[in-house]
């Protein structure tokens, strides 16, 4: 793969030498800021830098030859939307070059190295997913549906004491009304000269119920998931009580790591060279451990207790 100058806060996400544009073999390098397309043939055009902010849509597809394609909708500086079609070539071009005594680079030959259909399909799917993840297309699709409209006004929760006070107030008002009605009725039922009997109005007091506040249950702590070593595949396991960060790489594919306590990373290949660097994010002397598992068995491990310590590792499957 070609070398490119990275900015201080820029890192490579994925690299691939299997794409073509209009039958021209290209090296594609995806960083967290841009998509770089490089043609290393003699007298070819210089590299093309496409800012990720200009990529507004990414689509899967295939051409008439049933080759897989990635169609990018790119917003130009003039405000026009143009499409760039990347085709996953059926073979992997390896460009061999030689520099003469004057410093001029000469192209010697192109060799081919094949990949299985499963490896090429995984490579294609991974590329499209990473491009969508780091562009405007991925940011818009990751917004939950309930955030596309303004959230409804929150209704403040009423305190149970307010409810109790309201109930007591209603009971007091009812008692007062009963007493007033009793007094009015009593005044109207005084004995008169035309009546031979006297009517007596009896007032029945309404008992006040005893209210018992409902206890509020305490939240139940959610247990942290326990990881089980997978019995198949190749995995990298990272363990540290605090925060850790770094990357894992195999076959030119980078996986960024930024987690705490424990993380499992499944690797896309069952053979090849695994390399990476994982570091502590604090000055603790707790143990940081990196392990590689293949089909459930631990084949490599390395650890450090140094404050702000880092583990650089490399292992051939």
Check whether 171 has a pLDDT greater than 80. Answer: yes
**C-alpha–C-alpha distance, residues 242 and 57, integer Å:** 38
**Percent of the chain at pLDDT exceeding 70:** 66
Placement of tokens 């007062």 in the chain? 176
Closest among 41, 33, 34 to 17, alpha carbons compared: 41
Compute CA distances 110 → 25, 43, 197, whole Å: 11, 15, 126
Q: Lowest-confidence range among 35-39, 133-137, 187-191, 293-297?
A: 187-191
Check whether 188 has a pLDDT greater than 60. Answer: no
Q: What is the CATH code of the structural domain delimited by 12-98+107-143? A: 2.30.29.30
307: which 2 tokens?
């404050």
Instruction: Give 254-290 pLDDT, tens digit per residue.
Output: 899 999 999 999 998 888 999 999 999 999 999 999 9
Instruction: Give 201-210 pLDDT, tens digit per residue.
Output: 555 566 666 6
**C-alpha–C-alpha distance, residues 255 and 236, integer Å:** 11
Q: What is the mean pLDDT of the chain?
A: 77
> What local confidence, expressed as pLDDT, does residue 292 receive?
95
Compute CA distances 215 → 78, 160, 161, 218, whole Å: 64, 10, 12, 9
Under a CB-based contact definition with an 8 Å cutoff, are residues 85 and 68 in contact?
A: no
Q: Say whether pTM exceeds 0.85.
A: no
CB hemisphere CA count around 67 (13 angstroms): 17
């Amino acid at each position: 793969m070609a070398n490119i100058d990275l900015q201080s806060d820029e890192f490579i996400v994925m690299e691939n030498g299997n794409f073509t544009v209009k039958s021209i073999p290209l090296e594609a390098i995806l960083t967290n800021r841009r998509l770089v397309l490089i043609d290393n043939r003699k007298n070819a055009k210089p590299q093309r830098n496409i800012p990720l902010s200009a990529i507004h849509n990414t689509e899967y597809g295939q051409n008439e030859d049933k080759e897989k394609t990635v169609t990018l909708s790119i917003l130009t500086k003039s405000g026009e939307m143009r499409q760039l079609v990347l085709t996953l070539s059926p073979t992997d071009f390896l460009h061999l070059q030689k520099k003469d005594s004057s410093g001029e680079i000469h192209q010697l030959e192109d060799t081919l190295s094949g990949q299985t259909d499963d490896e090429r399909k995984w490579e294609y799917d991974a590329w499209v997913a990473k491009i969508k993840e780091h562009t405007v297309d991925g940011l818009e699709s990751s917004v939950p549906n309930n955030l596309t409209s303004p959230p409804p006004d929150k209704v403040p929760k009423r305190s149970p004491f307010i409810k109790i006070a309201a109930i007591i107030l209603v009971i007091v008002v009812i008692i007062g009304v009963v007493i007033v009605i009793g007094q009015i009725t009593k005044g109207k039922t005084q004995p008169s000269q035309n009546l031979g009997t006297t009517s007596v109005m009896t007032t029945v007091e309404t008992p006040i119920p005893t209210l018992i506040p409902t206890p509020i249950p305490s939240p139940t702590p959610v247990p942290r998931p326990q990881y089980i070593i997978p019995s198949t595949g190749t995995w990298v396991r990272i363990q540290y009580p605090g925060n850790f960060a770094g990357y894992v790489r195999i076959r030119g594919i980078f996986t960024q790591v930024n987690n705490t306590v424990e993380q499992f990373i499944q690797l896309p290949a069952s053979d090849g060279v695994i390399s990476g660097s994982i570091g502590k994010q604090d000055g603790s002397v707790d143990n940081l451990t990196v392990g590689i598992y293949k089909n459930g068995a631990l084949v490599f491990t390395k650890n450090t207790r140094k404050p702000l310590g880092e583990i650089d590792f490399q292992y051939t499957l």
